């Protein structure tokens, strides 16, 4: 027999450690641990993994046992951590069944001592996990994701000095505590707050580039966010948007580098308060994509928000708007003839996509305005909201008849069965 063959019988065990770690990291933890029985050399290879992910699939696959995490997941994590050897850079714990228990606090304490860099915790819905104070002593944290959790930063907490990404979902935290948390993490680049039940929120984050806010906000102010590039805001409270100042300025006043703006639910309504078309500034030279949902074309103020946005974005390429309009009473229709800046040009606008359009007067005027002022337009995609039909094909025919500034527009019409 060829001696080469004999000595290289084993294909895999003698691969460099870094490769074996890469391979083991791509396995579910349970399988990685099982490699310990392959041979004596594999006994403790898995114990030096630095990226750990624990979830409900980790231990027992029997559905009955899975619902009793104490017998499965807790035991698995405990024993795994005891046998683990070395640093842990990424730790993820995600379970639908595991509720708060003393072990979870201990695991956090253990991780805080291991200089963990990326931490993600998501436990059961029933009883929210209260983050122990050792969480705030994880000084090396770069990314933190918490789901369904009570956060109560201690008084002396000065922020996570290295934190770049923060993702809080369904978190219960005092309003000023979250503002302090955000502003004290000076390196923060990405912030996501979902299902947030806060009232006022002021964001001060000088290095922030990505922002996503979703929840029952009454007031949002982006006070110190000069580097923001992507902004996505979803606001769920319809009433109580009072403001002494212009909300548009409060939100978008300090984001000159913004490239993409997304707004859901009552965002347009919120932005409309205090807004005027008088001053079209600042100019958003980088703004390329505007994505707005549930815009009410009945409300002239919301339309003015859109107009102000597109008029202050000379390099805008894509507009996507989902309408949410009901009334056919043509209020303020003379705006379009009298006040709308007819000589505006959307030089870079290529794609316009409108959905949930009912053919209301304001909607039609808006489409006409876009068609007539976009010399580079390539796609006009309109989807009709079938629920509100009075006249069917007329709407599309009417659009086709509008004067268009671009010769190469491709029209895409569709009907949406609601």
Partner 1 sequence: MSLVKPEMKSFVWLQTADGLIQQVEEEVAMFCPMICREVIHKSMGSSKNHAIKLPERVTPAVLGLILDYCRFHQVAGRSNKERKTFDEKFIRLDANKLCDLVSAADSLQLRPLVDLTSCAIARMISGKTAEEIRETFHIADDLTEEEKLEPIKIKTDDSRVRLLNRLYARKRKQLKAREKSKDVEVEEERVEDRSVDDLLSFINSGDEDSKGVKPAKNKKRNRRKKNLRKDPSPNIEKKNPSYKEMDSLSSSHNSEIEDLPNQSISLKFLGYVSTESDFDDGLDPALKEQLDREVEDFAQRLNSVWSK
Report the interface residues with partner 1, using CB under 8 A: 9-13, 15-16, 18-19, 22-24, 26-28, 30-31, 33-40, 42-43, 59-62, 75-76, 79-80, 82-83
Q: Which is nearer to partner 1, 27 or 376 (by Cβ)? A: 27
Angle at 104 between CA 137 and CA 165, to 5 degrees: 50
Residue 71 CB, nearest approach to partner 1 (Å) = 11
Cα 180 to Cα 163: distance, rounded to the nearest angstrom: 14
Q: Which is nearer to partner 1, 42 or 97 (by Cβ)? A: 42
Q: Which is nearer to partner 1, 58 or 354 (by Cβ)? A: 58
Q: Which is nearer to partner 1, 16 or 102 (by Cβ)? A: 16
Contact in structure between 367 and 382 (CB atoms under 8 Å): yes
Q: Which is nearer to partner 1, 13 or 276 (by Cβ)? A: 13
C-alpha R_g of the chain: 27
Cα 74 to Cα 123: distance, rounded to the nearest angstrom: 12
Residue 17 CB, nearest approach to partner 1 (Å) = 11
Cα 167 to Cα 140: distance, rounded to the nearest angstrom: 16
Contact in structure between 222 and 250 (CB atoms under 8 Å): yes
Residue 129 CB, nearest approach to partner 1 (Å) = 25
Contact in structure between 91 and 116 (CB atoms under 8 Å): yes
Residue 137 CB, nearest approach to partner 1 (Å) = 28
Q: Which is nearer to partner 1, 25 or 265 (by Cβ)? A: 25
Q: Which is nearer to partner 1, 83 or 238 (by Cβ)? A: 83
Cα 54 to Cα 77: distance, rounded to the nearest angstrom: 7
Beta-strand relationship, 165-172 and 190-196: parallel
Residue 31 CB, nearest approach to partner 1 (Å) = 5
What is the tally of helices (H) and strands (E) in the chain? 13, 17
Tokens at residue 17, please? 């450690």
Residue 79 CB, nearest approach to partner 1 (Å) = 5
Residue 240 CB, nearest approach to partner 1 (Å) = 45
Q: To 10 degrees, what angle do helices 361-373 and 393-401 make?
A: 30
Cα 263 to Cα 306: distance, rounded to the nearest angstrom: 11
Q: Which residues on neighbouring strands pair with residue 219, listed in sequence order?
A: 200
Residue 52 CB, nearest approach to partner 1 (Å) = 14
Phi, psi of 142 (to 5 degrees): -105, -35
Three-state DSSP state, 8: coil
Q: Which is nearer to partner 1, 31 or 416 (by Cβ)? A: 31
Residue 29 CB, nearest approach to partner 1 (Å) = 10
Q: Which is nearer to partner 1, 65 or 139 (by Cβ)? A: 65
Only one residue has tokens 């005092």, namely 174
Beta-strand relationship, 210-215 and 230-235: parallel
């Amino acid at each position: 027999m060829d001696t080469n063959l004999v000595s290289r019988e084993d294909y895999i065990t003698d691969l460099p450690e870094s490769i074996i770690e890469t391979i083991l990291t791509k396995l579910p933890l349970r399988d990685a641990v099982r490699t310990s029985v392959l041979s004596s050399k594999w006994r403790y290879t898995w114990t030096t993994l630095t990226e750990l992910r624990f979830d409900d699939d980790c231990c027992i696959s029997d559905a009955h046992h899975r619902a009793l995490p104490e017998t499965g997941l807790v035991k698995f994590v405990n024993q795994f951590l005891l046998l683990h050897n070395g640093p842990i850079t990424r730790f993820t714990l995600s379970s639908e069944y595991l509720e708060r228990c003393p072990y979870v606090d201990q695991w956090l304490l253990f991780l805080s001592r291991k200089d963990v860099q990326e931490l993600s915790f998501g436990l059961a819905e029933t009883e929210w996990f209260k983050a122990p104070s050792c969480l705030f002593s994880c000084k090396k944290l770069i990314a933190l994701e918490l789901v369904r959790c009570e956060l109560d930063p201690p008084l002396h907490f000065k922020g996570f000095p290295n934190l770049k990404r923060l993702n809080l979902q369904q978190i219960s935290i005092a309003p000023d505590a979250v503002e302090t948390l955000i502003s004290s993490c000076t390196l923060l680049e990405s912030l996501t707050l979902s299902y947030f039940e806060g009232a006022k929120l002021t964001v001060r984050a000088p290095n922030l580039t990505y922002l996503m806010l979703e929840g029952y906000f009454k007031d949002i102010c982006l006070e110190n966010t000069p580097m923001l590039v992507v902004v996505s805001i979803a606001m769920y409270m319809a009433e109580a948007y009072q403001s002494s100042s212009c909300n548009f300025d409060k939100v978008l006043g300090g984001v000159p580098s913004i490239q993409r703006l997304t707004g859901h639910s009552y965002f347009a309504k919120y932005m409309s308060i205090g807004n005027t078309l008088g001053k079209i500034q600042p100019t958003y030279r980088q703004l390329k994509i505007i994505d707005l949902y549930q815009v009410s074309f009945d409300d002239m103020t919301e339309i003015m928000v859109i107009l102000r946005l597109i008029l202050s974005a000379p390099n805008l390429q894509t507009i996507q708007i989902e309408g949410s309009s009901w009334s056919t009473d043509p209020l303020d229709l003379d705006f379009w003839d009298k006040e709308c800046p007819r000589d505006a040009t959307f030089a870079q606008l290529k794609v316009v996509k409108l959905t949930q359009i009912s053919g209301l007067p304001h909607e039609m005027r808006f489409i006409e305005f876009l068609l007539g002022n976009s010399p580079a337009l390539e796609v006009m995609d309109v989807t009709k909201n079938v629920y509100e039909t009075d006249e069917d094909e007329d709407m599309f025919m009417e659009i086709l008849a509008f004067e268009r500034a671009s010769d190469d527009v491709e029209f895409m019409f569709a009907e949406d069965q609601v």
